[in-house]
Amino acid sequence: MNKLKKYTKMNKILALMSLLFVVFFTSCEDVVTLDLETGETRLVVDAEIIWKKGTSGNEQTIKISKTASYYSGSTPKVSGAQVRVENNSGDVFTFNETEPGVYVCTNFVPVIDMDYKLFVEAEGKSFTAVEKLTSVTSITKVEQAVVPDFGGKDIIELTFYYTDPADQVNFYLTDYKSDFLIYPEYEITNDEFYNGNEISTRYSHEDDIKTGSVVKITHRGVSKNFFNYMKLILEASSANPFLVPPGNIRGNIVNTTDASNFALGYFRLCEADAVDYVVK
């Protein structure tokens, strides 16, 4: 089973050491604004169709924005776009703008293994992407244990379990959310060495996980292509604590008006199982 986490304890230690180094040598200086290279402005399409087990999956959201400079402090929303998704049976699902840059469909019909095509018309350009809705097996249980961390200090570690189907090659994306996290943490896995067996995935976050903490675990089935895309994103993010992930990591969204002016983001359709675990 290949696994890749966005954050590791060593990354955090290196980040802290680097930060202390920077503070030490700039504590008596004025604030310096780095002259960061600004790339071409591109459309960003955040298009995840996620069908959580136990729900109809009818309500889905797609967000459209544009890239901005590092120091802009805001993300430009794209309003007035025309957004729809079609399946290979000819059904059309229209996404209507409910607030700037946010497009919602309330009658989407998710079907496992069906192909769907995304259509976006924005700012005079046309974008498309095709993907299949990928299934996932349920989380069977979540356990917690006290284990030593990198420095020998006892911390709480969570482990969740699921049984991998034996008749197919599977790829997974898991995210963790909690009050102690500013942003979700992501992890990708596959069944390369555990096909058809029970798979366990562990999660810890230094000493931030405490009794009473609620950790939301969302476990998705994803396509191989999206798995590879996320692997590039996570590797870029983990390589340097201060590195902004490169904007040239391309997803599957194609500009049919001008192929060179591609959009960022990835159109993906995932079945998911979610658990809100209360730490004992």
pLDDT digits (tens, 9 = 90+) for 79-92: 999 999 999 999 99
pLDDT digits (tens, 9 = 90+) for 117-147: 999 999 999 999 999 999 999 999 999 999 9
Nearest to 70 by CA among 243, 251, 248, 238: 243
pTM: 0.84
Q: Supply the pLDDT for residue 1.
A: 53
- 248 pLDDT above the threshold of 80: no
**pLDDT average, residue stretch 9-32:** 42
- 15 pLDDT above the threshold of 60: no
Dump strand ranges (E) for the chain: 3-5, 43-52, 60-66, 82-87, 92-99, 102-105, 115-122, 125-134, 139-148, 154-163, 171-177, 185-190, 198-203, 214-222, 254-255, 264-278
Name which residue leads in pLDDT, 51 or 243. Answer: 51
Nearest to 53 by CA among 221, 208, 205, 199: 221
Q: Which residues, at least 6 apart from 35, have a Cβ–Cβ distance to it below 8 Å? A: none
* CB 223, CB 134: distance < 8 Å: yes
- Could you tell me the pLDDT band of residue 38, with boundaries at 50, 70 and 90? low
Nearest to 18 by CA among 243, 205, 204: 243
Name which residue leads in pLDDT, 23 or 65. Answer: 65
DSSP 38-87: -----EEEEEEEEEETTS----EEEEEEE---TTS-S--B--S-EEEEEE
* CB 6, CB 187: distance < 8 Å: yes
The residue count of the chain comes to 280
Name which residue leads in pLDDT, 24 or 180. Answer: 180
Judged by average pLDDT, the poorest of 4-13, 159-168, 178-187, 199-208 is 4-13
**Domain assignments of the chain as residue spans, ordered by start:** 42-278
Q: What is the largest CA-CA distance in the chain?
A: 66
Name which residue leads in pLDDT, 70 or 108. Answer: 108
Which class for 86: exposed (0-12), middle (13-18), buried (19 or more C-beta within 10 A)?
Answer: middle
Q: How far is CA 66 from the centre of its chain?
A: 18
- 191 pLDDT above the threshold of 70: yes
Q: Supply the pLDDT for residue 5.
A: 58
Percent of the chain's residues with pLDDT above 90:
69
pLDDT digits (tens, 9 = 90+) for 253-262: 999 999 888 9
Across the chain, mean pLDDT equals: 86
Q: Supply the pLDDT for residue 14.
A: 34
3-state secondary structure of 13: helix
- 100 pLDDT above the threshold of 90: yes
Q: How far apart are CA 94 and CA 106, in angstroms?
A: 9
- 249 pLDDT above the threshold of 90: no
**pLDDT average, residue stretch 241-261:** 77
Cross-sheet strand order for the sheet of 154-163: 139-148, 154-163, 198-203
